[in-house]
A and B are shown apart, each in its own frame.
Chain A
Amino acid sequence: MSDRPRGGQAADDRTADTVAGAVRWPAAGTLDRIAFARLDESSRDAVRTSPVPVLVLREPALLAVTRVMTGPAWYAIAAREGGLTISLGGTRLAHPHPGVAPARGRSIVRGEPAFVTQNEAIWSASWLENGVAYVLEVECDTPSEPRCADERTLLGLTAALSYVGGAGGQP
């Protein structure tokens, strides 16, 4: 992560407590235009203004219920379908906390070290990619159901993400 926002990005996102990382926008050739087109209009608008590269769930049934939201330095996706609640998002603002040692997760997601954990039966994976901290979470309406018995559903979803754009990489 860099301690300076990249040129053209909103430097005023940076506060005394945060550091804006330099976003590396993926090549235009990696854009999934089909997935983008499957988003509703509101979500497509949100993608266009996202300050970070937007990853979405590629599955058409999930894209149909995906809601994309953006903040000053982040985006978030909410999707609820078939007994699953899926939350996905990324931010380029990092919080430097003295006393917290750098570490790398033991798992691998999208080729990057990732932390995989379970919180009250909600599975999550977090990783750094393109200068952005991403996190994907899966919650089962019924925590005891097989899809939330282990991390396989979560990891399966992380393997099926598509890049659909952002303010620095329009489709």
Chain B
Amino acid sequence: MKINTKDLLSGIILILFAVIGYWLNQDHALGTARRMGPGYMPMLTFVILLGIGAIVTLFALFSGPNPLDKWTTGEVLAIPAAIVAFFATYIIVERLNIFQGNYYILGSAILAGCLVLAIPHGWRALGLVHAGFALFGLLLEQGGLMLALVGCILVSALADPDHRPKGVLGMIIFLCVLCWWVFIKELDIRVNVWPQFL
């Protein structure tokens, strides 16, 4: 038996989606084929998805070998660590009760998870680019566009080891001016430009 690991995982992902979706769909009325309720189309979709997932999984058992890239121990460990960091931050920030609304809890949890994920070398780009994006969301409304830009660029710049401080500084100035010109002056999007707590 030559296992195609990539296809096997793909099939399992499809099956997981189908099963979870089907289970969540129990809340919705099916209706009849003539008068379909809100649950009818989802039911059909998830049954088909389950079928395709099963076929993909089955074929994957014989169409290999097609292994995943090798992971180091650090990379393997970082994944559960990132998940733990996500939930721990979520619970802590929720308990602290200082930030309310606007998904600050969700944002800080994503940021923490991404940063932990970025610890091993192999996940650096994956973790830091997403961390920069999440930091942008966290800083935007209270910190203003400029601070959010600086934060996002700084964190995401760490993802590429070739960056030098001077180059990053130049890029920050350039992008802040460009974004101000395009989004504030020309397009006039409704967002704070400068920090609100000053």
A binds B: no
Interface residues of B (CB under 8 A from A): none
Interface residues of A (CB under 8 A from B): none
